Amino acid sequence: MRPRFVDCHSHVVPSGDDGAKSHADGIDLCKLAARAGTEILYATPHVWPHLVLTEQRERVIRQAFEELRRDAPLELRLGFELTPAPPLLEEDPARYVLEGTRLVLVEVPFAGPADELWALAEHIETAGLVPLVAHPERTEVVRALPELAEELAERAWPLQVNSTSITGRHGPEAEALAWRFIEQGHAKIVASDGHRLTRPARLDDAYELVSARVGEEAALPLFDGSGLRTRDRRPLPSRAGARDA
């Protein structure tokens, strides 16, 4: 029997970001995902410093999501992908949680230092939620210092690598780091980060590669939603506190 996948990171809902531009685009992406074995797909519109989630934008997104969920050939759930920025530290991160989980999807900034990521992740943890660290293998700071991603993982903040990194779409450096995090056990989730038909929301091709390399027993939990289940735990001391200790 073909495995069924849970994809926690995609941009299939029209939201004003760089993902689907229309309902029809979103349906096409959902159909492709379903044909490729995805059973549950999270729509995670970007929340960027220059594209914040105003009340008006949230209403538009939620309406577009409901319309897409009605017509999609799979189970569609809603969340958001946060780019770290100081104003988010003043908000309740529960607003952005992945539906049905305790996880908040936070991307590592593509350029520049990771200080704002640490601050936002600790803010999320203080709220009793868990930061899910998106595609660290694609970012400048992690490429320069892979141990940073491993330090994040050691805080029990799960790493999510992109299926497209595994298949080589983002170049050999991102591919090598994705495999490193998988083989070391630091990556807990593989997701598509699908944006458009030229970069679709599909996991089957990456699953085949991971299964061939580490075996089906180790590969399946990365793709079947196991990594979205978290346990309550006491937060560790903050990074700043650890440095001062």
CATH code that applies to domain 8-168+186-244? 3.20.20.140
User: If you search the block for the tokens 């100081």, which residue do you land on?
Assistant: 86
CB 43 within 8 A of CB 68: yes
DSSP letters for 11-60: --S-SSSSS--SHHHHHHHHHHHHHTTEEEEEE--EEBTTB---HHHHHH
Q: Minimal CA–CA distance to 77: which of 117, 42, 127?
A: 42
**Predicted confidence pLDDT, tens digits, the chain (245 residues):** 789 999 999 999 999 999 999 999 999 999 999 999 999 999 999 999 999 999 999 999 999 999 999 999 999 999 999 999 999 999 999 999 999 999 999 999 999 999 999 999 999 999 999 999 999 999 999 999 999 999 999 999 999 999 999 999 999 999 999 999 999 999 999 999 999 999 999 999 999 999 999 999 999 999 999 999 865 443 334 444 433 32
- Which pLDDT belongs to residue 230? 64
Is residue 216 left, alpha or beta, with left meaning phi > 0 and alpha meaning psi from -120 to 50?
A: alpha
**CA 72 to CA 53: how far, in whole Å?**
24
- Which pLDDT belongs to residue 2? 80
**CA 31 to CA 133: how far, in whole Å?**
27
Global pTM value? 0.92
**Domain extent listing, the chain:** 8-168+186-244
Pairing of β 81-82 and β 103-107: parallel
Q: Minimal CA–CA distance to 22: which of 33, 14, 11?
A: 14
**CA 139 to CA 83: how far, in whole Å?**
12
Q: How far is CA 127 from CA 26, 61, 123, 195, 240, in A?
A: 32, 24, 6, 30, 18
